Amino acid sequence: MTPTQERWAFADKLMKIHGDDVGAFVAERIRTLADQNDAEGTCFWIDISSKILSQAGPEEGSWTQ
């Protein structure tokens, strides 16, 4: 599996584990790492968050539906 595929799989697993709370979980990870000035870790979690958003799709009532 490539690193990109691993990140997609990781994002999918997080969604299954945390369900509707996945956004809060990822936001806290980003906030913690940013507070620690961990640029690499912060970038990793921002990438994961974008993959989660891509998988989640538009919310009910959004203009894209």
For the cut 90, the answer to whether the pLDDT of residue 63 exceeds it is no
Q: How confident is the model at residue 64 (pLDDT cuts 50, 70, 90)?
A: low
What pLDDT does 55 receive?
Answer: 86
Residue 64 token pair: 């894209």
DSSP 57: -
For the cut 60, the answer to whether the pLDDT of residue 65 exceeds it is no
Q: What is the pLDDT of residues 12-60, one digit of tens each?
A: 999 999 999 999 999 999 999 999 999 999 999 999 999 999 887 766 6
Residue 38 token pair: 């961990």
